């Protein structure tokens, strides 16, 4: 039996004292940190500076000064009041520490017991390679001279807690085995960001004392920790033991994550009402029904939970109003939810009949952005067309597998899709899609952009086979259906053989579509042929040292998921076919447009291409033999390179020494915030910036202007040299592209051509730009 009951304590792990540039620290009393923490109901606080501990040092000096005066009985009235306020620190677990950046570009926090003297922390910073003359700057641009495993080992050995940036961990594709055992955790901004992983998860953000627009105050994001007593040893043991069940995000964070997830579907599909007239909501319900369905949340705004006073009356009034005022009346699912001691009504609109849905006034309402308005002529025609399509579903022999994209709309430069996969899921973007959904969206976008067409469809009456291919050892089909007038009205992606209904099976057996054989070799054949196949490169290569991996915006990250079929890590296996003399011709003919492709040779090996097919990453590689002939290894899956580090090093390229990369873009209310990497330093600026902060002629404004139009990347607009290339150039600057070994795309804007070195300089020479 435990002596003490366990309690959930609140800890904000990551609170900064502002630098001189960020807020004139002399004008913001240190006491404000403690006051704000107490106001937020915190039990513990991590106080950090970038590469320094000056905030904690000044706090200790001030408290010690007042303590000496208090013990001597010489406190002035003002000082006595301050001394009383500083007793807040005795009610908080104050954890001193610092934030450092490793050479890999990963941010981490080191936190220590409250009694740790500042001199001890400065000694650790010196051991990490922070110059002694810059120890008190609080400069976020300084980089530790020790790599990540060494840094973690040093801090753990010194008795600290180490919190690593979760986004950086994900970006660098790290594993827990690469780090020492000890009190380690991953820090995330919100519960929805944090995937299941090997290390405990804490929730926090870089909070600042004072009032900083767009930045969190202490206690706005915190972690709840279940302990008998809150102490540093208890926290250390919890993290070292990886007791994840005793860590949780607060209820407000879980709720905020749910609201943000709903809001991602867009104002066309999710409506938040802090206050509303329940008898007038039928117009919004009709508009949502005409859009295929959606959700109303009553008693809630993006800023606050207001609640509804009489939820039973609200629910009855809404149901009656819709039943009397909308024809046909869509089905409503009403759910009562509780948050912050208040009641919220969730109304899910589920249309059961084809549109249009008309109000008693004879008006057809639609959603446009955040507005419900009467439909225009073209929108009415579109709704009538959608109604004909939906009404034909009853007669259509729907496949029992695969997915269909039933709707698409563009908002703020991003395409959102409604996907039918046994049920309809709205608001899916390419970046959020996984597996078969990602493949379907990629094919749909290729069709919309004209990169593929339906001219190759084989037809049997109204049933068509667009593509037949293998997924592992299974045959899979992309199916097309057309209406009696010959118009294509349905495309079903990734339908396996077992999902073919009798009419579709009859079409497949009658048409016998040619199977698009994938060059990948079966595992049994690979095991037999590997000894005769070209050996992977081993040992160092001319660029064997791994460069710091660059971050990447969420909007550009390719969809990732486990392959459908388990594959062993094999060395690349050569493709059957004639061996050609070692010409350095493109792997495929360059189009007449701007883009093109050339293999990038390094020594006797080459990268021709790195590319995605659905959710799988593939490589086209080559090796020149002693007799001058070239062996090609096409369609090599990423998993086959797991034990072939030489090939992976061939794909990796040191980052260019010039240019600007947009590493993250985040929508925040009515604006977009950006984070950048300056390629001259290789460092990611921890600050988030607005477009309005930069003059129009700056490289940062230029990067923002092109970033949204360049991603997702259109490969046909890039002149590739293996897996690096360029998008556009002028006599002085060039926009560079790098697709790394994990298939992530990086664009380095406005790189100065005169400063390029190594393979980046050679890229332009190969394409005869130098």
3-state class of 190 per DSSP? Answer: coil
According to DSSP, the residues that pair with 222 across neighbouring strands are none
281-297 residue pLDDT tens? 899 999 988 887 888 88
Q: List the structure tokens of 74.
A: 């010489």
Confidence of residue 585 (pLDDT cuts 50, 70, 90): very low
Confidence of residue 52 (pLDDT cuts 50, 70, 90): confident
Contacts of residue 48, defined as CB under 8 A and 6 or more positions apart, other chains included, come to 14, 15, 16, 55, 96, 97, 98, 99, 109, 111
Domain 13-249 indexed as CATH 3.20.20: yes
Nearest to 288 by CA among 340, 231, 255, 329: 329
| Of 136-150, 520-534, 584-598, minimum mean pLDDT range | 520-534
Query: Cα dihedral angle (501, 504, 509, 512), rounded to 10 degrees?
Result: -140
The side-by-side arrangement of strands in the sheet containing 270-273 is 270-273, 294-298, 342-350, 331-339
The pLDDT of residue 459 is above 70: yes
- Detail the DSSP E strand segments found in 178-293: 184-188, 201-203, 207-208, 223-227, 247-248, 270-273
| Most confident of the ranges 98-107, 135-144, 193-202, 270-279 | 98-107
Looking at the whole model, is its pTM more than 0.85? no
335-358 residue pLDDT tens? 787 766 778 888 888 887 888 899
| Most confident of the ranges 250-264, 423-437, 442-456, 651-665 | 651-665
Q: How big is the chain, counted in residues?
A: 770
| Of 47-51, 65-69, 458-462, 612-616, minimum mean pLDDT range | 612-616
Average pLDDT, rounded, for the chain: 77
Confidence of residue 531 (pLDDT cuts 50, 70, 90): very low
3-state class of 171 per DSSP? Answer: helix
Q: What is the DSSP string of 704-749?
A: HHHHHHH-S--GGGSEEETTEEEEEE-SSEEEEEEE-TTS-EEEEE
User: For residue 752, how many other CB atoms are within 10 A of its CB?
Assistant: 16
User: Which residues of the chain are in CATH 3.30.950.30 domains?
Assistant: 257-389
3-state secondary structure 310-334: CHHHHHHHHHHHHHHHEECCCEEEE
Q: How many angstroms separate the CA atoms of 261 and 520, rounded?
A: 38
Cis before 328? omega within 30: yes
Query: Which contacts of 366-371 are long-range, i.e. CB under 8 A and separated by 24 or more positions?
Result: 366/287, 366/290, 366/291, 367/267, 367/268, 367/269, 367/287, 367/288, 367/291, 367/294, 368/268, 369/267, 369/268, 370/267
pLDDT for the residue 97: 92
The pLDDT of residue 745 is above 80: yes
3-state secondary structure 608-624: EEEEEECCEEEEEEEEE
723-734 residue pLDDT tens? 999 999 988 999
Q: How many angstroms separate the CA atoms of 432 and 558, rounded?
A: 9
pLDDT for the residue 391: 47
Q: How many angstroms separate the CA atoms of 708 and 555, rounded?
A: 9
At the top level of CATH, which class does the domain 257-389 belong to?
Answer: alpha beta
| Most confident of the ranges 122-136, 190-204, 257-271, 638-652 | 122-136
Contacts of residue 283, defined as CB under 8 A and 6 or more positions apart, other chains included, come to 359, 363, 365, 372
59 compared with 389, residue with greater pLDDT = 59
539 compared with 147, residue with greater pLDDT = 147
Nearest to 483 by CA among 381, 387, 380: 387
The pLDDT of residue 37 is above 60: yes
446 compared with 22, residue with greater pLDDT = 446
pLDDT for the residue 590: 37
691 compared with 544, residue with greater pLDDT = 691
| Of 194-208, 330-344, 635-649, 749-763, minimum mean pLDDT range | 194-208
Place of tokens 């998860």: 201
Q: What mean pLDDT do residues 496-523 have?
A: 73
The pLDDT of residue 753 is above 90: yes
| β-pair type (184-188, 201-203) | parallel
| Of 5-9, 142-146, 433-437, 708-712, minimum mean pLDDT range | 433-437
| Most confident of the ranges 181-195, 420-434, 722-736 | 722-736
The pLDDT of residue 580 is above 50: no
The pLDDT of residue 736 is above 90: yes
User: For residue 692, how many other CB atoms are within 10 A of its CB?
Assistant: 7
Q: Is 148:179 a contact under the CB 8 Å cutoff?
A: yes
Q: What mean pLDDT do residues 668-678 have?
A: 77
According to DSSP, the residues that pair with 463 across neighbouring strands are 460, 481
pLDDT for the residue 415: 78
pLDDT for the residue 588: 39
pLDDT for the residue 25: 44
Q: How many angstroms separate the CA atoms of 632 and 678, rounded?
A: 37
Confidence of residue 600 (pLDDT cuts 50, 70, 90): very high
575 compared with 227, residue with greater pLDDT = 227
pLDDT for the residue 430: 67
| Of 26-30, 304-308, 325-329, minimum mean pLDDT range | 26-30
77-122 residue pLDDT tens? 888 888 888 888 788 899 999 999 888 888 899 999 999 998 899 8
pLDDT for the residue 647: 87
According to DSSP, the residues that pair with 602 across neighbouring strands are 605
User: Which residues of the chain are in CATH 3.20.20 domains?
Assistant: 13-249
Contacts of residue 458, defined as CB under 8 A and 6 or more positions apart, other chains included, come to 464, 465, 511, 513
Q: What mean pLDDT do residues 8-34 have?
A: 69
The pLDDT of residue 601 is above 90: yes
Contacts of residue 542, defined as CB under 8 A and 6 or more positions apart, other chains included, come to 602, 603
User: For residue 580, how many other CB atoms are within 10 A of its CB?
Assistant: 12
- Detail the DSSP E strand segments found in 27-165: 44-48, 93-101, 107-111, 161-165
The pLDDT of residue 127 is above 50: yes
Sign of CA dihedral 584, 586, 592, 596: negative
Query: Cα dihedral angle (79, 84, 86, 90), rounded to 10 degrees?
Result: 150
According to DSSP, the residues that pair with 488 across neighbouring strands are 482
Query: Cα dihedral angle (31, 37, 40, 43), rounded to 10 degrees?
Result: -140
Contacts of residue 747, defined as CB under 8 A and 6 or more positions apart, other chains included, come to 661, 662, 706, 707, 710, 711, 713, 727, 735, 736, 737
Q: List the structure tokens of 568.
A: 């062993």
pLDDT for the residue 550: 32
């Amino acid at each position: 039996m435990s002596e003490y009951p366990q309690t959930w304590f609140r800890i904000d792990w990551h609170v900064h004292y502002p630098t001189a540039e960020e807020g004139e620290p002399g004008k913001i009393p240190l006491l404000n940190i403690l006051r704000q923490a107490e106001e937020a109901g915190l039990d513990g606080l991590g106080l950090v500076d970038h590469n320094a501990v000056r905030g904690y040092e000044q706090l200790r000096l001030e408290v010690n000064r007042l303590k000496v005066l208090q013990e001597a009985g010489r406190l002035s009235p003002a000082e006595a009041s301050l001394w009383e306020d500083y007793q807040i620190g005795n009610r908080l677990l104050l954890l001193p520490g610092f934030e450092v950046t490793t050479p890999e570009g990963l941010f981490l926090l080191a936190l220590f017991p409250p009694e740790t003297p500042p001199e001890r922390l400065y000694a650790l910073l010196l051991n990490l390679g922070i110059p002694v003359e810059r120890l008190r700057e609080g400069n976020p641009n300084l980089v530790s001279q020790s790599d990540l495993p060494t840094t973690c080992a040093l801090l753990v050995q010194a008795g600290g807690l180490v919190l690593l940036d979760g986004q950086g961990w994900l970006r660098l594709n790290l594993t827990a085995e690469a780090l020492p055992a000890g009190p380690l955790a991953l820090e995330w901004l919100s519960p929805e960001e944090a995937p299941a992983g090997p290390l405990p998860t804490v929730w926090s953000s870089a909070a600042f004392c004072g009032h900083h627009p767009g930045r969190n105050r202490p206690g706005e994001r915190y972690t709840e920790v279940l302990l008998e007593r809150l102490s540093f040893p208890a926290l250390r043991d919890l993290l070292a033991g990886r007791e994840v069940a005793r860590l949780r995000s607060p209820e407000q964070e879980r709720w905020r994550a749910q609201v943000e997830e709903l809001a991602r579907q867009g104002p066309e599909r999710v409506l938040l009402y802090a206050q509303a007239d329940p008898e007038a909501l039928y117009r919004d319900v009709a508009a949502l029904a005409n859009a295929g369905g959606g959700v109303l949340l009553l008693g809630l705004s993006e800023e606050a939970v207001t609640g509804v006073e009489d939820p039973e009356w609200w629910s009855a009034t809404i149901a009656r109003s819709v039943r009397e005022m909308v024809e046909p009346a869509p089905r409503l699912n009403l759910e009562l939810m509780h948050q912050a001691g208040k009641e919220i009504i969730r109304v899910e609109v589920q249309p059961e009949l084809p549109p249009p849905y008309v109000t008693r006034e004879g008006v057809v309402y639609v959603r446009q952005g955040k507005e419900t308005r009467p439909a225009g002529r073209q929108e009415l025609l579109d709704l009538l067309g959608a109604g004909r399509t939906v009404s034909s579903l009853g007669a259509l022999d729907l496949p029992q597998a695969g997915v269909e994209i039933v709707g698409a709309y563009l908002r703020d430069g991003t395409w959102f899709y409604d996907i039918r996969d046994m049920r309809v899921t709205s608001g899916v973007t390419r970046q959020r899609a996984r597996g078969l959904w990602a493949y379907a969206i990629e094919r749909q976008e290729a069709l919309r952009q004209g990169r593929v067409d339906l001219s190759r469809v084989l037809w049997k009456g109204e049933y068509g086979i667009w593509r037949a291919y293998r997924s592992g050892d299974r045959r899979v089909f992309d199916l097309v259906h057309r209406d009696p007038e010959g118009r294509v009205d349905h495309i079903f992606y990734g339908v396996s053989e077992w999902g073919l209904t009798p009419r579709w099976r009859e079409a497949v057996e009658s048409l016998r579509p040619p199977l698009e054989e994938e060059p990948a070799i079966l595992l049994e054949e690979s095991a037999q042929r590997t000894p005769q196949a070209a050996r992977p490169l081993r040992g160092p290569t001319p660029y064997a040292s791994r460069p710091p991996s660059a971050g990447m915006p969420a909007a550009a990250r390719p969809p990732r998921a486990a392959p459908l079929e388990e594959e062993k890590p094999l060395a690349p296996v050569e493709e059957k076919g004639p061996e050609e003399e070692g010409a350095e011709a493109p792997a495929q003919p360059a189009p007449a447009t701007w883009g093109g492709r050339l293999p990038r040779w390094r020594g006797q090996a080459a990268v021709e291409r790195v590319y995605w097919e659905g959710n799988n990453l593939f490589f086209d590689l080559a090796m020149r033999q002693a007799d001058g002939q070239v062996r090609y290894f096409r369609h090599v899956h990423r998993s086959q390179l797991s034990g072939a580090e030489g090939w992976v090093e061939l794909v990796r390229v040191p980052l260019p020494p010039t240019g600007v990369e947009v590493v993250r873009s985040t929508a925040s209310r009515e604006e977009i915030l950006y984070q950048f990497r300056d390629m001259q330093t290789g460092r990611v600026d921890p600050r988030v910036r607005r477009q309005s902060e930069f003059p129009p002629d700056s490289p940062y404004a230029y990067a923002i202007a092109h970033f949204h139009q360049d991603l997702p990347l259109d490969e046909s607009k890039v002149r590739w040299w293996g897996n690096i290339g360029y998008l556009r150039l002028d006599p002085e600057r060039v926009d560079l592209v790098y697709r790394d070994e994990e298939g992530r795309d990086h664009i380095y804007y406005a790189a100065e051509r005169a400063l390029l070195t190594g393979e980046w300089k050679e890229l332009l020479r190969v394409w005869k730009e130098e």
